[in-house]
Structure 1
Amino acid sequence: MSIVWGLHCRDEQLALQHGVIAIGWPQMGDLKKLPNDREAFKKRHQEVYPEAKKGNTPVAAGMLIRFAYEVKIGDYVVYPSKSDRMINIGIIEGDYYYVPDRDEYRHQRKVKWLKRLPRTAFSQGALYETGSVLSFFKLKTYGEDFLHALSDDFDAHAFSDPDSEDVSVGTTAEEILEATRDFVLKELSKNLKGYALEEFVANLLRAMGYRATVSPQGGDSGVDITAYKDELPPRILVQVKSGDGEIRETTIQSLKGAMREGDYGVFVTLTDYTKNAKKYLDNTPIIRGINGAELVDLILKYYEDLDDEYRRLIPLRKVYIPTLEIEE
């Protein structure tokens, strides 16, 4: 099976007029002077880019080692050019080489461009896969679609036909939503621990229309936040847990023990609840359990009403996603 790679390169003239695929990280030097070893690439990246975020190093090293060592002559590459919104499909004709006198794109390979097609010639799923945030990546799902575009029987107007329907649209929309949910939950887990998560949940409750007060640090009452919908009862007591483990029944019972008659409780976790804990919540309707997935859904719903500091912490942009209605 042919391997199909995806490329993002801002220098469209270099790519399309000179028949080159190229990636950045110029300070890495000649990649062939490094052994075919991911750890060596990571070490070199840390040396020449000491200010890079910790998570960027393995990602960059992965792209660089693929470009230098994994790509083979005869592999295919898909390059979406932004200026004309065309999809360019080519075959790689040369080994890796280093161009030291270039400012940015010093890591290069020769490519022969075989076909240029409008984006409308491909399914939404295929286009979404080429929209990876990576500069160089393998097309794992829709690679064969781009290879089929090279054949004589390829219909470039198939997805423009009013009688056709792109069944990948629904899948793509759900993938985007799931990726967003994963991102939000990871940012919460990474940046908000303990009291910081309590403050965030209180801010979310205010965005939802509640008056919320965070309990003083160091208290052991089982109550992290007290909230009211308005000036009148009921009182809502909230406990927040930022740990990695699933919440047990006994932990929820500590919140129940702090509640007085007429109170309601809310338990918030970034993870989930054990089987027994879920059963306890089902049998205790005055306490609502919110797991990580449900918390993210609330964040997405009330995102625009969160304080600026939390929107900066979880940077999101509102977009419209195509969806597919399936008749049953």
Structure 2
Amino acid sequence: MVRAGEGGRLIEEFEKGFVAIGWSNLGDLSRLSTKENVAALIEKKYPEIKPSKKSKSIGVINKFLNVVGIGDIVVSYDTSTREYLVGEIVGNYEYSPDTVGDYHQIRRAKWYGRVSRDELRTSSKNSLGSLLTLFALKPSVVDDLLRVLEGRPAETAQATEVAEEEEGISKEDVVNQSKELIKDLITALDAEEMEELVAALLRAMGFRARVSPKGPDRGVDVIASPDGLGLQEPRIKAEVKHRSGSMGSQAIRSFIGALRPGDRGIYVSTGGFSKESRYEAERANIPVSLVDIDELASLVVDFYEEFDLDGKALIPLVRIYWPAEL
């Protein structure tokens, strides 16, 4: 697994046939043929960083340079669509400053296709939840990804394997892994529960919100305002789409067309949004926020303490404490 930058921001560049890691300020690493060589360079460049972070950097860089081989299965994650790119490594390490954004350490890859996280076994989801930049996948997880890609049925029995020890797990890794599990909970909701979740979130943010009655709603699933009657501004109108595919520009254009002066629009899509749809929202005369599942999960976490009982029943979470010095 090679992560496509923070929040999967480089996934479009990866999809063009690459995987990459950061540490671009280290320059060309092609001469670092051993882990000891990598460790010496990290010690020289970053003498002040904590041992755990130093160990993590050394491990990731060495694996990318010297352990990952041509023909190995490679996976990356698109957080906006909750899909995994699955393919194979087809090239040796290259230093290329102009290929994948600000990630200059690259390997070329050939992608077979995409696999929805929702189609994987729970054990595979848990293993893939790690937010390390690069880590080895269990054989059973690789088989599960290929199974979905090839359309094979799931087997009932699963082999027990020892997970690879993860180097230098940080608080951020744990937080991000937890966020993926929260996104799994959100995805498991049905369409009506998703509308209730959005209403609960708006109530937690200080508005009076309710789900619109079923029937012709002109693209409005949830209505919110400070007074609950829509007499005080802002009047918030939310459309909620719980689906796997991304929303196109026409859907956003229709939603914007139903808004009136004084309204504020929120369009929630668990399948994400196309570039064109984001452009439609940006150029709208009435403020419209597009919320994908990644942002929805972040908002749930941020406002969870203010959730009412109905909201917490939809997404049951517990607080976890972490040592302050780590």
TM-score tier by shorter-chain length is: 0.3 to 0.5
- With normalisation by structure 1, the TM-score equals 0.47
Q: Find the structure with the greater CA-based Rg.
A: 1
